[in-house]
Amino acid sequence: MAKSRSVGTKFNIDQQVVGGLSSIGGVEISSETTDVTALDNTTGYKEYLGGFKDGGEVPLEGFLDGADKGQEAMYSAMEDQEEHNFSVVFPQTIGKTWTFKGIVTKFATSAAVGDAVKFSSSIKVTGKPTLAATEAAAQQEG
């Protein structure tokens, strides 16, 4: 099994790379459940049905760069509140890419003595995210 460091991982908004990132949070898919335990249950264990899934929220952190077009696109997406196309492209040794639609829900900056100027952002995944081979993911976006 191929293992890899995260160096080289890229994050894109509408096929524009967001530069200066130090951290990309993961797509976290979760599922609702509905309790269907009946009164005549004799096992002592609750029973459930699977429900709707949620793609979660993807947080980003990085170093603010006033010339970076990807960071500019993230800020613009925060302002327009429209659905955009996003992808997380892992290094070639992993060979996988997450693709998803989402809405930017946060864009923040911070500055502290002895530290670089930073930014952070979050994207709420809307619909089904897809984890596929990097080549297949590129074809899905196109």
Percent of the chain whose pLDDT exceeds 90 = 89
In this predicted structure, the answer to whether residue 88 has a pLDDT above a threshold of 70 is yes
Amino acid occupying residue 11? F
Would you place residue 4 in the very low, low, confident or very high pLDDT band (cuts 50, 70, 90)? confident
CA gap 69, 75 in Å, rounded: 10
Quote the pTM value. Answer: 0.88
Q: What are the pLDDT digits (tens) for 43-52?
A: 999 999 999 9
Instruction: Considering only residues 20 and 4, tell me which one the structure prediction assigns the higher pLDDT.
Output: 20
How confident is the model over 71-77, as a mean pLDDT?
Answer: 98
Q: What pLDDT, on a 0 to 100 scale, did the predictor assign at position 62? A: 97
Q: What pLDDT, on a 0 to 100 scale, did the predictor assign at position 89? A: 96
Could you tell me which of 88, 97, 99 has the C-alpha nearest to residue 126?
99
> Which H/E stretch holds residue 112?
none
Residue pair 10/98 in contact (Cβ under 8 Å)? The answer is no
Q: Which residues contact 120 (CB under 8 A, 6 or more apart)?
A: 59, 60, 61, 62, 106, 107, 108, 110
In this predicted structure, the answer to whether residue 30 has a pLDDT above a threshold of 90 is yes
